[in-house]
Amino acid sequence: MKVLILESGRLFQKILQELLVDLDCTVSCVRTGEEGLELLKNTDDDTRYDLIIASQHIFDKSGSDFIEHCKSRDTPIILLTSEPNETLMRNARAAGIKDIFPKTNITYLKSSIRYYIQGEKTFNIQGGRVLYVEDSPSVAHIVTGYLKKLNLEITHFPSAEEAFHEFTDNDYDLVITDVMLKGTMDGLSLVRMIRATNSHTAKTPILAMTGHDDTQLRIDLLHAGINDYVTKPPVEEELAARVNNLITNKRLADQVREQQRSLYNIAMTDQLTTCHNRHSLQEYAPKYIKDSIRYKHPLSVLILDLDNFKHINDEFGHDTGDTVLSGIGKLLMTTCRQGDVVARIGGEEFMILLPHCAIMDALRKAETLRAMIEMSKPADLTVTASIGVAQLLEEHDKSFEALYKAADTAVYHSKENGRNQVTADKRAIELLELDRAGNA
């Protein structure tokens, strides 16, 4: 950016120049309006200044012609003042001054100029996808031209019906829609339907365009869920700024959502085995129990404890132990059904929640897993597991802790009886046999 400073004080001139150079600006300095006007007259369109920063004595006699020249060439002026007053503000507005910054607080002034300069350069929305709805070919041609200058990908439809069908099948960074549209759906209805979709795309920013700057219509649009609006025909610079803000904010929101998802996965996943962890299990288990009771389907749980795992760590090292755990974790996840929850709940202990699975089916599943673990030979070692199986019973009183304790007791019996075997919760088997006897 090429900047001209009009400031009589050499110290303040130097402060501004150093700041602007740090912001990668090309800087020239003059002390009077006459000097500034002479400099501006000697620049052509290719070398013209993008911004002028001037102190308030620009309104002296020597500066009036300077201001008029800037206005004729649409060169923005930022006014610096140490004595803000009503007359000065009125003169600044009449002269078309773009912004006014106080000179009294150097820190604030530097921050304001830095934000202004960098803000002017933050139109970094290249590659953004825009869904544009406009039934007027002439307006659509103009607006599409504006948007293409921002290096955006534009998909245009003349009707809201077509646009909504496209929206449900694809992701967009921004929706721009006219309010008054031909067909059975207007822009307001389109906004409401987008906001009602049951997915993350419901939060896609929407910019409404209207030829009628009606207060009630704006209120209705804002209530329906638009993020911003412009009147037609839109001013190119204003449209670019609003589009830039909306897409930039959307991308920031996407980043936050992705970071939240990543943090959630980290918090709920065992990093070594990529299985769920205890935190995840505590979240899923109550939901599975609630669904089991509500819909009257069985819920079983397996607890697997790798046999003599301490011996593996002691003899072969913890790296080998980690390889074993990682391999067993992957085996369990690949052999379980979608909807089952495989979690590492301790050093060498795993748990599997099995919805829609009664005790006998869970026993068969456990025996299959036991055999697969023994044959898998992670890190070229023979590894076995003792497994306990339990089913959710009425006497567990909807308690995950009670269900866990039943399976854990069964694991203990597998260990006591020689390891590398499957043991079922005795109470679950007793109830199953009683039920069978009653039905015989």
Active-site residue set: 348
Query: CA triplet 26, 51, 86: central angle to 5 degrees?
Result: 140
Nearest to 70 by CA among 116, 149, 6: 6
DSSP secondary structure of 141-204: HHHHHHHHTTT-EEEEESSHHHHHHHHHHS--SEEEEESS-SSS--HHHHHHHHHHSSSGGGG-
What is residue 132's three-state secondary structure? Answer: strand
Name every residue whose Cβ is closer than 8 Å to that of residue 66 and which is 6 or more positions away in sequence.
Answer: 6, 33, 34, 36, 37, 40, 58
Burial of 209 (0-12, 13-18, 19+ CB in 10 A): buried
Helices (H) and strands (E) in the chain, counts: 16, 15
Beginning with the edge strand found earlier in the chain, give each strand of the sheet holding 153-157 in spatial order: 153-157, 129-133, 174-178, 206-210, 228-231
The CA distance from 310 to 321, in Å, is 9
Residue 233, preceding bond cis, omega within 30 degrees? Answer: yes
The CA distance from 107 to 104, in Å, is 9
What is residue 104's three-state secondary structure? Answer: coil
Nearest to 37 by CA among 55, 8, 64: 64
DSSP secondary structure of 16-65: HHHHHHHTT-EEEEESSHHHHHHHHHT--TTS--SEEEEEGGGGSHHHHH
Q: The tokens 């389907």 sit on which residue? A: 297
